[in-house]
């Protein structure tokens, strides 16, 4: 039985089964050469049936419905038709079809040739791929990934993990295909043109009424490394990765400074250390490790303090507070105590074209005054009103 119609999912799903041992073939009226064959057991397979002048017709199997969508089957058929139009055989077209790389292969190339050499956050790319992309895209051929499939993935992640997470995945997919185009490995980027979710700038920081509970929870934290890590993160406003990899050799106790050679902005940073921060560090001073916050992993320092952070928040009965909000907390308290945006930007190593020239003219003295003033205000709001009262966080000897 042969029948021609414009393939749609509804019509294909409604097709009757042929008699036992028989197989029916249907032709798509939209794309020449695209067939759908259905067996008596209900298996529906897309294929291309074409011949070259003077040769016998050949059938090229594309994939099964519904694993392969109609749009994917049509696109494959047009690619094969183009190869045949160039005078090549269907067998050559089939070999080209089989040799097309999978997305997992392309991502592996992207990771090794671009992400790892050029991005300090390449592990985030790998984590996002494993968490959100691998299951859906890894075994798909590149031509099977189009704007519709990427848009659907973006929509699903938006529902499950939130708009910001979905936007990050969309950006990663776009980056992978964009790199592939520049490297000559592919011709188009299916993520282009997909509307990103609106993102609301996060403005969460530790409020005045939360600080007493926060410091109390910190004082009860059984893991001294986690406790001191959180304190240094709060008192310096430094990024999580920099605090995790903080080294003793980069700390100058006499000048009360911490030198970070590599930051997210690719610019070195000198962090001024308040007396309270110096006190925490002096109490941790040890020759057992090159890192201030040693860990058991390959890096030698702590990597993910999330569990300890969640423990502290639960004890303090504080919700919707992230580790990165500690960085915003220092900046917010600097603003509360009268610091200018330029001072705050320099202390937090913000990279902003409009203020870069201003930052360059600032020395550390006004930054130090601002950080010290903000630190004193935070501690006072947290119930630590006397200078040096942060000694409650000293190691027990």
pTM of the model: 0.56
Please tell me the distance from the alpha carbon of residue 271 to that of residue 251, in angstroms, as a whole number. 9
**What is the domain partition of the chain in residue ranges?**
2-99, 103-182, 211-393
Query: Which positions of the chain have pLDDT values less than 50?
Result: 1, 353-361, 387, 394-397
Predicted pLDDT of residue 377: 86
The architecture of the domain spanning 211-393 is Orthogonal Bundle (1.10)
Residues 6+ apart with CB under 8 A from 92: 83
Each residue's pLDDT tens digit, 280-312: 999 998 878 999 999 887 788 998 788 999 999
Predicted pLDDT of residue 251: 95
Predicted pLDDT of residue 357: 41
Omega cis (within 30) before 66: yes
Predicted pLDDT of residue 75: 84
Predicted pLDDT of residue 355: 38
Predicted pLDDT of residue 96: 65
User: Measured between alpha carbons, how far is residue 207 from residues 221, 236, 373, 382 in Å?
Assistant: 20, 17, 17, 10
Q: Which residues of 124-150 are buried (b: 16+ CB within 10 A; e: fewer)?
A: ebeebbeebbeebbbeebbbbbeeebb
Q: Which CATH number fits domain 2-99: 3.40.50.10490, 3.30.160.390, 3.40.50.970, 3.40.50.300?
A: 3.30.160.390
Predicted pLDDT of residue 298: 79
Predicted pLDDT of residue 54: 62
- Tell me the three state secondary structure of residue 172: helix
User: Measured between alpha carbons, how far is residue 39 from residues 4, 20, 54, 64, 71 in Å?
Assistant: 17, 8, 31, 12, 22
Predicted pLDDT of residue 305: 86
Each residue's pLDDT tens digit, 68-77: 889 888 988 8
Predicted pLDDT of residue 94: 66
């Amino acid at each position: 039985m042969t029948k021609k119609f414009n393939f749609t999912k509804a019509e294909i799903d409604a097709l009757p089964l042929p008699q036992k041992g028989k197989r029916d073939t249907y032709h798509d009226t939209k794309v020449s050469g695209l067939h759908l064959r259905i067996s008596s057991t209900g298996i529906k397979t897309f294929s291309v049936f074409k011949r070259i002048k003077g040769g016998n017709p050949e059938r090229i199997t594309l994939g099964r419905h519904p694993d392969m969508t109609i749009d994917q089957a049509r696109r494959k058929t047009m690619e094969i038709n183009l190869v045949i139009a160039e005078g090549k055989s269907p067998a050559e077209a089939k070999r080209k079809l089989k040799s097309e790389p999978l997305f997992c292969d392309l991502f592996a190339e992207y990771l090794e040739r671009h992400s790892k050499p050029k991005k300090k956050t390449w592990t985030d790319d790998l984590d996002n791929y494993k968490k959100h992309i691998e299951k859906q895209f890894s075994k798909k051929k590149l031509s099977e990934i189009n704007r519709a499939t990427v848009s659907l993935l973006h929509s699903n992640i938006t529902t499950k993990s939130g708009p910001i997470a979905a936007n990050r995945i969309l950006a990663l997919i776009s980056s992978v295909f964009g790199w592939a185009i520049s490297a000559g490995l592919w011709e188009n980027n299916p993520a282009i043109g997909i509307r990103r979710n609106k993102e609301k700038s996060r403005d969460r920081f530790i409020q005045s009424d939360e600080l007493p509970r926060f410091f109390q929870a910190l004082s009860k934290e059984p893991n001294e490394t986690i406790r001191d890590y959180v304190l240094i993160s709060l008192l310096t406003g430094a990024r999580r990765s920099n605090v995790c990899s903080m080294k003793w050799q980069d700390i100058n106790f006499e000048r009360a400074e911490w030198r970070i050679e590599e930051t997210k902005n690719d610019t070195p940073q000198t962090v001024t250390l308040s007396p309270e921060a110096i006190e925490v560090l002096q109490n941790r001073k040890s020759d057992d490790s090159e890192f201030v916050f040693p860990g058991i992993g390959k890096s030698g320092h702590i990597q993910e303090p999330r569990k300890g952070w969640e423990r502290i928040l639960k004890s303090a009965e504080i919700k919707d507070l992230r580790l990165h909000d500690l960085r915003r907390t220092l900046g917010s308290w600097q603003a509360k105590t009268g610091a200018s945006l330029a001072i705050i930007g320099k202390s937090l190593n913000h990279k902003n074209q409009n203020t870069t020239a201003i930052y360059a003219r600032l020395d550390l003295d006004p930054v130090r005054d601002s950080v010290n003033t903000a630190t004193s205000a935070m501690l006072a709001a947290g119930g630590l009103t006397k200078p040096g009262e942060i000694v409650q966080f000293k190691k027990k000897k």
